[in-house]
DNA sequence: AACCTATATATAGACTATCTATGCATAGAT
DNA sequence: ATCTATGCATAGATAGTCTATATATAGGTT
Protein backbone atom coordinates (compact mmCIF):
# COMPACT_ATOMS: atom_id res chain seq x y z
CA UNK A 1 0.00 0.00 0.00
CA UNK A 2 1.57 3.23 -1.15
CA UNK A 3 -0.47 5.54 1.06
CA UNK A 4 -3.10 4.56 3.54
CA UNK A 5 -6.52 5.00 2.00
CA UNK A 6 -9.19 7.16 3.58
CA UNK A 7 -11.69 4.33 3.26
CA UNK A 8 -11.66 0.58 3.41
CA UNK A 9 -12.46 -0.38 -0.20
CA UNK A 10 -15.83 -2.06 -0.53
CA UNK A 11 -17.45 -0.38 2.44
CA UNK A 12 -18.56 2.93 0.97
CA UNK A 13 -21.85 1.81 -0.59
CA UNK A 14 -22.81 0.20 2.69
CA UNK A 15 -22.07 3.35 4.69
CA UNK A 16 -23.97 5.55 2.26
CA UNK A 17 -27.04 3.33 2.44
CA UNK A 18 -26.83 3.38 6.21
CA UNK A 19 -26.64 7.16 6.46
CA UNK A 20 -29.84 7.39 4.43
CA UNK A 21 -31.89 5.26 6.81
CA UNK A 22 -32.87 8.20 9.01
CA UNK A 23 -33.64 10.80 6.37
CA UNK A 24 -32.82 11.79 2.79
CA UNK A 25 -29.50 13.59 2.42
CA UNK A 26 -27.59 15.24 -0.38
CA UNK A 27 -24.15 14.02 -1.40
CA UNK A 28 -22.21 16.65 0.47
CA UNK A 29 -24.26 15.91 3.56
CA UNK A 30 -23.58 12.18 3.30
CA UNK A 31 -19.85 12.84 3.14
CA UNK A 32 -20.06 15.15 6.16
CA UNK A 33 -22.10 12.63 8.11
CA UNK A 34 -19.60 9.84 7.51
CA UNK A 35 -16.72 12.10 8.43
CA UNK A 36 -18.35 13.24 11.65
CA UNK A 37 -19.74 9.90 12.76
CA UNK A 38 -16.32 8.34 12.25
CA UNK A 39 -14.60 11.06 14.33
CA UNK A 40 -12.68 12.22 11.27
CA UNK A 41 -11.12 8.84 10.60
CA UNK A 42 -13.02 8.31 7.35
CA UNK A 43 -13.00 10.91 4.58
CA UNK A 44 -15.14 10.41 1.49
CA UNK A 45 -13.51 12.14 -1.46
CA UNK A 46 -15.75 13.59 -4.15
CA UNK A 47 -14.20 11.28 -6.70
CA UNK A 48 -15.37 8.32 -4.64
CA UNK A 49 -18.67 9.74 -3.48
CA UNK A 50 -20.35 10.73 -6.72
CA UNK A 51 -19.47 7.58 -8.67
CA UNK A 52 -20.77 5.59 -5.70
CA UNK A 53 -24.07 7.49 -5.77
CA UNK A 54 -24.34 6.81 -9.50
CA UNK A 55 -23.85 3.10 -8.83
CA UNK A 56 -26.56 3.10 -6.18
CA UNK A 57 -28.94 4.97 -8.47
CA UNK A 58 -28.30 2.59 -11.35
CA UNK A 59 -28.98 -0.40 -9.16
CA UNK A 60 -32.11 1.15 -7.80
CA UNK A 61 -31.03 1.19 -4.16
CA UNK A 62 -31.62 4.95 -3.95
CA UNK A 63 -33.55 7.60 -5.83
CA UNK A 64 -32.58 11.22 -6.28
CA UNK A 65 -34.41 14.51 -6.31
CA UNK A 66 -33.20 18.09 -6.82
CA UNK A 67 -34.20 20.42 -4.03
CA UNK A 68 -33.14 23.54 -2.23
CA UNK A 69 -31.21 23.24 1.03
CA UNK A 70 -32.02 25.19 4.18
CA UNK A 71 -29.31 27.63 3.14
CA UNK A 72 -30.90 28.20 -0.24
CA UNK A 73 -28.59 26.10 -2.38
CA UNK A 74 -29.57 23.60 -5.02
CA UNK A 75 -28.67 20.04 -4.05
CA UNK A 76 -29.55 16.50 -5.04
CA UNK A 77 -31.26 14.63 -2.24
CA UNK A 78 -30.98 10.85 -2.11
CA UNK A 79 -33.62 8.60 -0.58
CA UNK A 80 -33.41 4.89 0.22
CA UNK A 81 -35.77 2.79 -1.88
CA UNK A 82 -37.45 -0.32 -0.57
CA UNK A 83 -34.96 -2.40 -2.54
CA UNK A 84 -32.17 -0.30 -1.07
CA UNK A 85 -33.28 -0.99 2.45
CA UNK A 86 -33.33 -4.67 1.71
CA UNK A 87 -29.90 -4.45 0.12
CA UNK A 88 -28.59 -2.65 3.17
CA UNK A 89 -29.63 -5.60 5.29
CA UNK A 90 -27.88 -8.04 3.00
CA UNK A 91 -24.67 -6.04 2.85
CA UNK A 92 -24.65 -5.44 6.59
CA UNK A 93 -24.86 -9.15 7.26
CA UNK A 94 -22.13 -9.94 4.75
CA UNK A 95 -19.91 -7.24 6.14
CA UNK A 96 -20.28 -8.40 9.73
CA UNK A 97 -19.62 -11.97 8.70
CA UNK A 98 -16.50 -10.94 6.85
CA UNK A 99 -15.20 -8.78 9.69
CA UNK A 100 -15.75 -11.66 12.09
CA UNK A 101 -13.85 -13.99 9.76
CA UNK A 102 -10.94 -11.57 9.45
CA UNK A 103 -10.95 -11.24 13.22
CA UNK A 104 -10.58 -14.99 13.60
CA UNK A 105 -7.62 -15.01 11.25
CA UNK A 106 -5.96 -12.11 13.05
CA UNK A 107 -6.48 -13.69 16.44
CA UNK A 108 -5.58 -17.28 15.78
CA UNK A 109 -2.79 -16.97 13.26
CA UNK B 1 -21.19 -4.93 -6.59
CA UNK B 2 -21.65 -7.59 -9.20
CA UNK B 3 -20.65 -10.55 -7.06
CA UNK B 4 -19.61 -10.58 -3.45
CA UNK B 5 -15.85 -10.76 -3.20
CA UNK B 6 -14.07 -13.54 -1.33
CA UNK B 7 -11.98 -10.97 0.52
CA UNK B 8 -12.38 -7.48 1.85
CA UNK B 9 -10.06 -5.49 -0.43
CA UNK B 10 -7.09 -4.07 1.43
CA UNK B 11 -6.94 -6.74 4.11
CA UNK B 12 -4.98 -9.47 2.36
CA UNK B 13 -1.45 -8.22 3.04
CA UNK B 14 -2.33 -7.84 6.70
CA UNK B 15 -3.65 -11.39 6.95
CA UNK B 16 -0.65 -12.85 5.16
CA UNK B 17 1.77 -11.08 7.49
CA UNK B 18 -0.21 -12.32 10.46
CA UNK B 19 -0.20 -15.96 9.34
CA UNK B 20 3.59 -15.79 9.13
CA UNK B 21 4.06 -14.73 12.75
CA UNK B 22 4.13 -18.30 14.06
CA UNK B 23 6.29 -19.99 11.43
CA UNK B 24 7.35 -19.68 7.78
CA UNK B 25 4.78 -20.98 5.32
CA UNK B 26 4.58 -21.46 1.56
CA UNK B 27 1.92 -19.68 -0.51
CA UNK B 28 -0.42 -22.59 -0.74
CA UNK B 29 -0.16 -23.08 3.01
CA UNK B 30 -0.94 -19.43 3.66
CA UNK B 31 -4.09 -19.66 1.54
CA UNK B 32 -5.15 -22.83 3.36
CA UNK B 33 -4.50 -21.27 6.75
CA UNK B 34 -6.63 -18.22 5.98
CA UNK B 35 -9.41 -20.40 4.62
CA UNK B 36 -9.42 -22.66 7.66
CA UNK B 37 -9.01 -19.98 10.32
CA UNK B 38 -11.90 -18.05 8.77
CA UNK B 39 -14.16 -21.12 8.78
CA UNK B 40 -14.29 -21.07 4.97
CA UNK B 41 -15.61 -17.52 4.78
CA UNK B 42 -12.43 -16.16 3.21
CA UNK B 43 -10.91 -17.70 0.10
CA UNK B 44 -7.61 -16.43 -1.25
CA UNK B 45 -7.49 -16.94 -5.00
CA UNK B 46 -4.13 -17.66 -6.62
CA UNK B 47 -4.45 -14.51 -8.69
CA UNK B 48 -4.66 -12.50 -5.49
CA UNK B 49 -2.21 -14.48 -3.41
CA UNK B 50 0.90 -14.51 -5.58
CA UNK B 51 0.79 -10.83 -6.56
CA UNK B 52 0.34 -10.02 -2.86
CA UNK B 53 3.40 -12.08 -1.98
CA UNK B 54 5.38 -10.25 -4.67
CA UNK B 55 4.33 -6.93 -3.14
CA UNK B 56 5.44 -8.03 0.31
CA UNK B 57 8.77 -9.27 -1.03
CA UNK B 58 9.38 -6.02 -2.92
CA UNK B 59 8.69 -3.97 0.16
CA UNK B 60 10.92 -6.16 2.26
CA UNK B 61 8.24 -7.29 4.70
CA UNK B 62 8.95 -10.95 3.94
CA UNK B 63 11.79 -13.01 2.46
CA UNK B 64 11.44 -16.19 0.45
CA UNK B 65 13.32 -19.45 0.22
CA UNK B 66 12.78 -22.53 -1.95
CA UNK B 67 12.52 -25.75 0.03
CA UNK B 68 10.96 -29.18 -0.03
CA UNK B 69 7.72 -29.77 1.81
CA UNK B 70 7.10 -32.71 4.14
CA UNK B 71 5.42 -34.41 1.20
CA UNK B 72 8.46 -33.99 -0.99
CA UNK B 73 7.30 -31.12 -3.17
CA UNK B 74 9.19 -27.99 -4.03
CA UNK B 75 7.66 -24.87 -2.50
CA UNK B 76 8.62 -21.31 -1.71
CA UNK B 77 8.62 -20.60 2.01
CA UNK B 78 8.01 -17.05 3.21
CA UNK B 79 9.40 -15.66 6.46
CA UNK B 80 8.54 -12.40 8.21
CA UNK B 81 11.42 -9.94 8.31
CA UNK B 82 12.01 -7.57 11.22
CA UNK B 83 10.61 -4.76 9.08
CA UNK B 84 7.63 -6.96 8.25
CA UNK B 85 6.88 -7.57 11.90
CA UNK B 86 6.96 -3.85 12.51
CA UNK B 87 4.75 -3.25 9.49
CA UNK B 88 2.28 -5.80 10.77
CA UNK B 89 1.92 -3.80 13.96
CA UNK B 90 1.29 -0.60 12.03
CA UNK B 91 -1.28 -2.18 9.74
CA UNK B 92 -3.05 -3.93 12.57
CA UNK B 93 -3.49 -0.66 14.42
CA UNK B 94 -4.73 1.12 11.31
CA UNK B 95 -7.12 -1.69 10.51
CA UNK B 96 -8.61 -1.76 13.99
CA UNK B 97 -9.00 2.00 13.95
CA UNK B 98 -10.75 1.87 10.61
CA UNK B 99 -13.07 -0.94 11.61
CA UNK B 100 -13.97 0.94 14.76
CA UNK B 101 -14.72 4.04 12.69
CA UNK B 102 -16.92 2.11 10.27
CA UNK B 103 -18.66 0.58 13.25
CA UNK B 104 -19.49 4.02 14.59
CA UNK B 105 -20.96 5.04 11.24
CA UNK B 106 -23.03 1.87 10.99
CA UNK B 107 -24.32 2.21 14.53
CA UNK B 108 -25.10 5.87 14.73
CA UNK B 109 -26.32 6.63 11.22
C1' DA C 1 -1.20 -47.88 -18.24
C1' DA C 2 -4.30 -44.04 -17.92
C1' DC C 3 -6.64 -40.92 -15.28
C1' DC C 4 -7.83 -37.95 -11.53
C1' DT C 5 -7.25 -35.07 -7.46
C1' DA C 6 -4.59 -32.37 -4.52
C1' DT C 7 -0.58 -29.86 -4.08
C1' DA C 8 2.27 -26.00 -5.67
C1' DT C 9 3.77 -21.61 -8.34
C1' DA C 10 3.03 -17.99 -11.59
C1' DT C 11 1.23 -14.56 -15.03
C1' DA C 12 -1.95 -12.00 -18.30
C1' DG C 13 -5.94 -9.54 -18.68
C1' DA C 14 -10.41 -7.97 -17.00
C1' DC C 15 -12.87 -5.58 -13.64
C1' DT C 16 -13.95 -2.57 -9.81
C1' DA C 17 -13.31 0.94 -6.54
C1' DT C 18 -10.66 4.04 -4.88
C1' DC C 19 -7.87 8.69 -5.25
C1' DT C 20 -6.06 13.00 -7.59
C1' DA C 21 -7.01 16.73 -10.11
C1' DT C 22 -9.93 19.62 -12.41
C1' DG C 23 -14.02 22.36 -13.65
C1' DC C 24 -18.21 24.75 -12.65
C1' DA C 25 -21.35 27.49 -9.61
C1' DT C 26 -22.94 30.49 -5.66
C1' DA C 27 -23.99 32.08 -0.69
C1' DG C 28 -22.17 34.57 2.91
C1' DA C 29 -18.49 36.65 5.43
C1' DT C 30 -14.22 39.72 5.56
C1' DA D 1 -13.06 42.23 -4.13
C1' DT D 2 -11.70 38.09 -2.29
C1' DC D 3 -12.02 34.03 0.36
C1' DT D 4 -14.20 29.97 2.42
C1' DA D 5 -17.63 26.70 2.60
C1' DT D 6 -21.07 24.57 0.15
C1' DG D 7 -22.52 21.76 -3.68
C1' DC D 8 -22.20 18.60 -8.11
C1' DA D 9 -19.63 16.10 -11.51
C1' DT D 10 -16.13 13.80 -14.52
C1' DA D 11 -11.53 12.25 -16.53
C1' DG D 12 -7.63 9.75 -15.73
C1' DA D 13 -4.40 7.38 -12.71
C1' DT D 14 -3.68 3.77 -9.49
C1' DA D 15 -4.38 -0.32 -6.86
C1' DG D 16 -6.14 -4.64 -5.59
C1' DT D 17 -9.11 -7.93 -6.56
C1' DC D 18 -10.88 -11.99 -9.77
C1' DT D 19 -10.95 -15.18 -13.90
C1' DA D 20 -8.57 -17.90 -16.73
C1' DT D 21 -4.65 -20.13 -18.13
C1' DA D 22 -0.16 -22.55 -17.97
C1' DT D 23 3.13 -25.64 -15.91
C1' DA D 24 4.58 -29.52 -12.88
C1' DT D 25 4.28 -33.74 -9.94
C1' DA D 26 2.92 -36.98 -5.98
C1' DG D 27 -0.21 -40.40 -4.86
C1' DG D 28 -4.36 -42.91 -5.38
C1' DT D 29 -8.00 -45.15 -8.46
C1' DT D 30 -9.79 -47.65 -12.59
How far is C-alpha B47 from the chain's CA centre? 13
Answer for the pair A9, B10: CB distance below 8 angstroms, yes or no: yes
Q: In chain B, how long is the greatest CA-to-CA distance?
A: 55
Q: In what order do the strands lie in the sheet with A62-68?
A: A25-26, A74-80, A62-68
Give the one of A37, A105, A106 whose C-beta lies nearest to B109's C-beta. A37
DSSP B39: T
Nucleotides of C under 7 A from a protein CB: 7-13, 15-23, 26-28
pLDDT in tens, B51-66: 999 999 999 999 999 9
Q: How far apart are the first and last CA of chain B?
A: 22
Answer for the pair A30, A16: CB distance below 8 angstroms, yes or no: yes
Taking chain A (109 residues) in consecutive chunks of 10 residues, what is each chunk's mean pLDDT? 74 98 97 97 97 97 96 96 97 97 94
Domains and CATH numbers, chain A: 12-108 (1.10.10.10)
Q: What pLDDT is stored for residue B3 in this prediction?
A: 52
CA–C1' distance B62–C17 (Å)?
A: 27
Amino acid sequence: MAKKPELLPGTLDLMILKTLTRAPLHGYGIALAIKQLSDDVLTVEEGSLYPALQRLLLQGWVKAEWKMTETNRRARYYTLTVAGRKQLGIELTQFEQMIAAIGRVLQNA
